[in-house]
Amino acid sequence: MKVVINGLVLNYELVGEGRIILLLHGWGDRASGLNMIKDELVKKYQILSVDLPGFGDSDNPDKAWGLEDYAVCVSNLVKKLKLEVYAVIGHSNGGAIAIKMIADKLLVVQRLILLASAGIRNQYKGKNRIIRVVAKTGKFIVYILPSSTRKKVKAVFYTKIGSDLLVAEHLQPTFKKIITEDITTDASKIDILTLLIYGKEDQSTPVSYGQLLSNKIKKSRLIILDNAEHFVYLDQPNKVNKLIEDFLQ
């Protein structure tokens, strides 16, 4: 289904019956990327999932967006649909948006579930600075290379420094803005029951992120799953679904 929010056409889905669970996907993903979770929860809950602006079938932002822009947009979607959300589940950047939204009281919910949530930046200022510098000078660095190899070289380099800059090239200004935003202070404002699930082998949002967020969120519980990386819900689907279901009940 389509709806206009903040001047943008958003693609969303609302299915099932019962208390409402909002799903927020990560950077470079789309709503359907969380179908493994949705398909299980829809048996007991009503599920609202959305292609965040710039991803899936939703419009691109007309400027560089930050976490607050995304949080306000999702909040306005919920208001326009006149829904009362019971819980939010956010993966990676979706988790950072959820934290921002709840901390700023843009959405009032009873439960929060963070799957490999991003948003910890202060610990990696040096790395983020490298990403921003490369983002500004990357075209110059590879200018002397043949055009057919420029994109491949840039992709390899960004992968080496752990950057998702090229995952959604059309959103580079937004990406460069978001990686400067730390949600540690926002996390300390959250006062609802929160479950954090991280993969032990996650290199994108390491376990240390979960530990830091768990220390900041008063009513939180951190679960670390073995044999799981950044897409922890795909690496350990049965365990993640069971943890989510038990927590929501």
On the question of pLDDT at 157 being above 50, the answer is no
Q: Which of 189, 200, 249 is nearest to 223 (CA)?
A: 200
Distance CA 106, CA 50 (A): 17
pTM of the full structure: 0.85
φ and ψ at residue 206, rounded to 5 degrees: -65, 165
Superfamily of domain 2-121+181-248, CATH level 4: Alpha/Beta hydrolase fold, catalytic domain (3.40.50.1820)
Domain residue extents for the chain: 2-121+181-248, 125-174
pLDDT in tens, 88-100: 999 999 999 999 9
Task: Give the pLDDT confidence of 172-204 residue by residue, as tens digits.
Answer: 999 999 989 999 999 999 999 999 999 999 999
pLDDT at 46 over 60: yes
Q: Which amino acid is at 166?
A: L
In the predicted structure, residue 16 carries a pLDDT above the cut 70: yes
> pLDDT category, 170, cuts 50, 70, 90?
confident
Q: Where do we find the tokens 């590879």?
A: 142
